A = this chain, B = another copy of it.
């Protein structure tokens, strides 16, 4: 089964059809970046309506078993995720409520310090806050996966340590291979792997550098990452942003917290939306990723682990056993 650990596309029927054409079994979608609790509920409603209207192509999964059932039915399982904890509005009790509503992945911070911890762009990272510790515990209890992709180093290390179950970096790369604030230290990645976590390797240009050149250079990035943390802890996290437009990018980068242009993983010299990767314009190219890994010399089992098996194992360990599906 092919699994994409994180996408931030503006999904519609065409993009869902691309998931099917790429034989995707499961994708974590981004329901929000800066949305508050009410706006996040609105996003959940919009996602439910969108999924209902395309029920022949996709379904929301709330357990690992459901991911497998949905894939077996010839559809793509969607995990509802938020790239921030702003949906909690500072309420510990909302972890459980949003979990009940089907949310299964949440990044502790997006691009700025919040009440849970620091982001990877903050100059000072005081670590996981007292609230943040409770949030991690409650996410563990309710089966919501902790995502550290945009989270700061110390906050991430403390989250790995504090979590009772494996945690994820759904979309980032090793900073020792591609130096970038969004990428992760060897120390963090090794701690994450030691506790059973998974890193979704990303071909997103801004954080994969020269490895973004071809499917084969991306396979090289996967190989070097596997050398670093073990192949059982490497998955795909494309960070694909199909149909994301300039206004979306501005919302992602600036939210409502600043009037100053922010560049996220880009820079003032490289401010715009990155052009699609020629070898990965959309998820129809997923089989090509598997082929590139095979060309690189990965065995059949290794390819299957990286392309989805490792994420599926992670979901079996972290997601609740009980369904929240209708």
Contact: B45 with A100, CB < 8 Å?
Answer: no
Residue ID in chain B nearest A324 by CB atoms:
B100
Residue ID in chain B nearest A47 by CB atoms:
B93
* 0 or 1 for each of A192-225: is its CB under 8 Å from B? (1 = yes): 0000000000000000000000000000000000
Question: What count of chain A residues pass the 8 Å CB interface test?
Answer: 21
**Of B49, B100, B102, B322, which is within 8 A of A93 by CB?**
B49
Contact: A94 with B326, CB < 8 Å?
Answer: no
Q: Within the assembled complex, what's the spacing in Å between the Cα atoms of A46 and B92?
A: 11
Query: In the complex, how many angstroms separate the beta carbon of A59 from the nearest chain B beta carbon?
Result: 16
Q: Within the assembled complex, what's the spacing in Å between the Cα atoms of A150 and B89?
A: 32
Contact: B37 with A91, CB < 8 Å?
Answer: no
Q: Please tell me if A178 contacts chain B, counting CB pairs below 8 Å.
A: no
Chain B residues with Cβ under 8 A from A44's Cβ? 93, 97
Q: Please tell me if A248 contacts chain B, counting CB pairs below 8 Å.
A: no
Q: Within the assembled complex, what's the spacing in Å between the Cα atoms of A102 and B326?
A: 13
Query: In the complex, how many angstroms separate the beta carbon of A46 from the nearest chain B beta carbon?
Result: 8
Q: Please tell me if A38 contacts chain B, counting CB pairs below 8 Å.
A: yes
Chain B residues with Cβ under 8 A from A91's Cβ? 41-42, 45
Q: Please tell me if A96 contacts chain B, counting CB pairs below 8 Å.
A: yes
Q: Please tell me if A101 contacts chain B, counting CB pairs below 8 Å.
A: yes
Residue ID in chain B nearest A44 by CB atoms:
B97
Chain B residues with Cβ under 8 A from A46's Cβ? 93
Chain B residues with Cβ under 8 A from A89's Cβ? 38
Q: Please tell me if A20 contacts chain B, counting CB pairs below 8 Å.
A: no
* 0 or 1 for each of A24-56: is its CB under 8 Å from B? (1 = yes): 000000000000011001101110110000000
Chain B residues with Cβ under 8 A from A100's Cβ? 100-102, 324
Query: In the complex, how many angstroms separate the beta carbon of A104 from the nearest chain B beta carbon?
Result: 14
Chain B residues with Cβ under 8 A from A42's Cβ? 91, 93
Q: Within the assembled complex, what's the spacing in Å between the Cα atoms of A45 and B102?
A: 17
Residue ID in chain B nearest A45 by CB atoms:
B93
Most chain B CB neighbours (cut-off 10 Å) among A89, A91, A100, A102: A100
**Of B37, B48, B96, B322, which is within 8 A of A96 by CB?**
B48
Contact: B41 with A37, CB < 8 Å?
Answer: yes
Q: Within the assembled complex, what's the spacing in Å between the Cα atoms of A49 and B94?
A: 12
Q: Within the assembled complex, what's the spacing in Å between the Cα atoms of A37 and B96?
A: 16
Q: Interface residues, chain A, CB within 8 Å of chain B?
A: 37-38, 41-42, 44-46, 48-49, 89, 91, 93-94, 96-97, 100-102, 322, 324, 326
Q: What are 25 A-B contacts defined by CB distance under 8 Å? A: A37-B38, A37-B41, A38-B38, A38-B89, A41-B91, A41-B93, A41-B94, A42-B91, A42-B93, A44-B93, A44-B97, A45-B91, A45-B93, A45-B94, A45-B96, A45-B97, A46-B93, A48-B96, A49-B93, A97-B101, A100-B100, A100-B101, A100-B102, A100-B324, A101-B101
> Which A-B residue pairs are the 4 nearest by beta carbons?
A45-B93, A100-B101, A37-B38, A38-B38
